[in-house]
């Protein structure tokens, strides 16, 4: 019997297309604590300088949204257990830290007090969703081994908010099962993360590759694979990919071009909007950084 052709719903296609169209600008102003645990400094350098626009499908963006929405349920369940959950210093604000003038920073999910395992200790609260395979790995190995980036994220928050403990609360999307793990502050490791952020932010050229092998498992799924391993030129023509721009300790980005932006517009300090648009619309001095 002949196989029936696969049917594509036009309604679902519109949902996917409009989800993609309504997604937030991927060009983050800062290097985030949520990413600093990535083992590849070169990848972080490309991210911070906007070398590759991620091509997320509507389905992947909905997964991100689901993770964000799940935080509301986790907070409600913790409060149901009598735990104090502070989501920010005031209504609508998150607990946030900034370093290096704002080039590096992050927002923790919550500050938590009253865990029954340690009632008097304040904890950094980090909330995550997992599929079943990822959740099973978490159960077997713990967060430090199974989710290196999540572990590093908590260390960065403990380091910058002055807490000695964090609590990792994860939920399996397939079974709704919870996992809770308390994490101790590692001052040495947290300091290394901050040193790493500094190296990435203020490096004028890309750090070494994580691996020289194009078939290395961690490289094959990287957004920057073509640039890093195939020597493909970036299509992102913006101020951060330009050799004339640099990140300063005061949190600014500056243009050092003797012509173009600086000469015509007198904008040695570039606002975030200018970084995103000037090279695309009016700068004839853009010189792509070496990658």
Instruction: Please report the pLDDT score of residue 207 as a whole number.
Output: 96
* Architecture in CATH for domain 26-202: Alpha-Beta Complex (3.90)
Q: With residue 130 as reference, give the H or E element that holds it.
A: strand 123-130
Domain ranges of the chain: 26-202, 237-281
Average pLDDT value over all residues in the chain: 89
Residue 112: count of CB within 10 angstroms of its CB: 26
CA distance 42 to 238: 19
CA distance 154 to 37: 10
Tell me the pLDDT tens digit for each residue of 174-214.
999 999 999 999 999 999 999 999 999 999 999 999 999 99
Q: Which residue did the predictor score with more confidence, 105 or 24?
A: 105
Q: With residue 247 as reference, give the H or E element that holds it.
A: strand 245-247
């Amino acid at each position: 019997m002949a196989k029936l052709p696969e049917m594509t719903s036009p309604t679902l296609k519109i949902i996917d297309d409009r989800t993609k169209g309504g997604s937030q600008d991927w060009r983050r102003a800062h290097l985030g604590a949520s990413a600093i645990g990535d083992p590849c400094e070169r990848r972080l350098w490309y991210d911070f300088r906007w070398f590759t626009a991620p091509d997320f499908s509507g389905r992947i963006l909905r997964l991100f949204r689901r993770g964000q929405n799940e935080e509301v349920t986790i907070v409600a369940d913790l409060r149901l257990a009598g735990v104090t959950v502070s989501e920010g210093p005031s209504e609508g604000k998150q607990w946030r830290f900034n370093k290096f003038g704002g080039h590096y920073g992050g927002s923790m999910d919550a500050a938590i007090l009253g865990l029954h395992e340690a009632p008097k200790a304040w904890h950094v609260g980090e909330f995550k969703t997992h599929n079943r395979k990822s959740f099973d790995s978490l159960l077997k190995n713990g967060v430090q081994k199974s989710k290196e980036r999540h572990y590093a994220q908590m260390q960065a928050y403990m380091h910058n908010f002055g807490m000695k403990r964090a609590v990792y609360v994860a939920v399996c999307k397939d079974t709704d099962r919870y996992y809770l793990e308390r994490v101790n502050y590692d001052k040495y490791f947290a300091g290394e993360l901050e040193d790493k952020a500094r190296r990435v932010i203020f490096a004028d050229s890309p750090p070494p590759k994580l691996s020289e092998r194009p078939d290395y498992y961690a490289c094959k799924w990287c957004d920057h694979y073509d640039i890093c391993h195939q020597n493909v030129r970036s299509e992102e023509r913006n101020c951060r990919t330009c050799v004339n721009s640099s990140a300063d300790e005061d949190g600014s980005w500056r243009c050092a071009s003797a012509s173009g932006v600086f000469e015509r517009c007198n904008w040695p300090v570039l606002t975030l909007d200018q970084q995103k648009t000037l090279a695309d619309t009016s700068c004839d001095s853009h010189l792509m950084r070496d990658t």
